[in-house]
A and B are shown apart, each in its own frame.
Chain A
Amino acid sequence: MLARTVSRLSGVARRGYAAAAAVKNANPEELRLTFASPDTAIFSNAVVKQVDVPTLAGMPGVVQVTTNEGTVQRVFVSSGTLSVNIDGSVQVLAEELLKVEDIDEAAARAELDAAQRASSEGSEVARAEAQIRAEVAEALLKAATNQQ
């Protein structure tokens, strides 16, 4: 899995930008994470140590958050956006998210089977949608099995 690490902002150039911007933020040296889906927020402007995001191009996968206390939270996201701003804030906004430990493996497998069946029939749009569903289900399964 392509892992891209957004670690604590450092380096003189970056610091310069952050100081220049200084948008209503007390400490741009901190990595402040907002991690939310449309109906739940796991982190809301919380200071964390590190955020690992699977890809830049919206593939489903596991986002891993390391808090300042060193605990690691793994959360599955279907798709979404990531932005890292010069004021030190990071937004990971997912369309759907699910904690890895809450993934129902059997349901994910059933979804994968159903999506794979559907991906061979229907219109082009329906097939493409089914393929995306299959991709998500596959990623879900991967996330669930990796955890154990």
Chain B
Amino acid sequence: MLRQGSGALQLVASNLVNAEQQRGFATLKDISIRLKSVKNIQKITKSMKMVAAAKYAKAERELKGARAYGVGAKAFFDNINPQGDEEVAGKPADEKKKHLVVCITSDRGLCGAVHTSIAKEAKNMISKAAPNEDIRVVCIGDKSRAVLQRLHGKYIILSANEIGRQPPTFADASIAAKAILDAGFDFEQGTILYNRFKSVVSYETSKLQILPLEAIKTKEALSTYDSVDDDVLQSYAEYSLAQLIYYAMKESATSEQSSRMTAMDGASKNAGEMIDKLTLAFNRTRQAVITRELIEIISGAACV
């Protein structure tokens, strides 16, 4: 009966269990060691949840400003390219279309599926790419790189880390934007993959279109804008890239913290369940030990 309570848990230390089984019932110590470690794990997940909650509150506060900023930055592109990416597809088929995908993740894990869903989307885009499409990936954050490196390493042209410990800043975004522009990949179409924050319990993996300078110049809608020359347009395109990356970083960071909060809440709950089960097993075992000792004493006494 006591092995029912603890048997499923002890996969790692199975040889230890066998040794104990030979001696019969002495799993009391095993259970108490395990109980202690699960309790410690619960403490860690609980405090991680608290930290994530504090960071989430901050991130969400900051997102309000950043969202107005990001949506504002997007407005120009929505106006100039209202059809989204469909329009770009009308290029001659023999020419390779250069497509840049920027994955916005972070270095930190233990936050549910936020990073994997980004990496999955990137993988999806790579596998569904048209034959005349030349896709390159920029990984911001170690997590997306770790997932994509093994199978799709040849697509990665740039990766960055040291993101996720602190909330992302505009300086971070500027560094990323500059690196992308300096990478020597003259993309004709760009996509930023990020997790758009919806609420504490939900986020949506979304895409942001980026138009490089050359693509902006080809748009008809550009003629409706006043006092645009090459210089202004170039500054604007470069600065917009930083703005959009910043916005995507903010959204992703908020989604990540909220998702970590949920994940750690779940982990604490699971640890709690495990602790309950282990405590029950522990008490039963202790009871069994006492009963056995009593039986030994009584039957010993009866013999005399």
Contacts and interface: CB of A to CB of B under 8 A. Distances in A.
Contacts of A39: 62, 65-66
B236 interface: yes
Interface string A11-51: 00000010001010000000000101111110011000000
Q: Chain B CB within 10 Å — which of A36, A38, A40, A86 has the most?
A: A38
B79 A81 contact: no
Given A23-B82, A81-B236, A93-B73, A38 B246 contact: yes
B246 A34 contact: no
Interface residues of A, number: 26
A14 B10 CA distance: 74
Contacts of A56: 227, 232
Nearest to B173: A38
Nearest to B62: A39
B192 to A, nearest CB: 16
B221 A37 contact: no
B60 to A, nearest CB: 13
Contact of A23 (B64, B67, B79, B236): B79
Nearest to A20: B224
B170 interface: yes
B240 A81 contact: yes
B46 to A, nearest CB: 30
Contacts of B105: none
B75 A37 contact: no
B239 A41 contact: no
A44 B76 contact: no
Interface residues of B, number: 29
B146 interface: no
Nearest to B74: A91
A95 interface: yes
Contacts of A23: 78-79, 82
Contact of B73 (A17, A21, A84, A91): A91
B66 A84 contact: no
B243 interface: yes
A17 B68 contact: no
Interface string A71-93: 00000000011011111010101
Interface string B230-250: 001001100110010010000
A57 interface: yes
A93 B243 contact: yes
B232 A84 contact: no
Given A34-B71, A58-B235, A93-B243, A83 B76 contact: yes
A36 B68 contact: yes
A38 B68 CA distance: 9
A84 B62 contact: no
A85 B69 contact: no
Given A93-B69, A95-B170, A41 B64 contact: yes
A104 B27 CA distance: 70
Nearest to B223: A17
Given A34-B68, A38-B170, A56-B232, A91 B76 contact: yes
Contact of B75 (A40, A57, A58, A85): A85
A125 to B, nearest CB: 13
A87 B77 CA distance: 12
Given A41-B68, A56-B232, A89-B75, 20 more contacts: A23-B78, A34-B69, A34-B72, A36-B69, A38-B65, A38-B66, A38-B169, A39-B66, A40-B65, A41-B65, A41-B69, A45-B68, A56-B227, A57-B232, A81-B73, A83-B75, A86-B79, A91-B76, A93-B69, A93-B73
7 contacts: A34-B68, A38-B169, A38-B170, A41-B65, A81-B235, A86-B221, A91-B73
The 9 tightest CB contacts between A and B, nearest first, are A41-B68, A91-B72, A34-B72, A44-B68, A36-B69, A38-B170, A85-B79, A40-B65, A83-B76
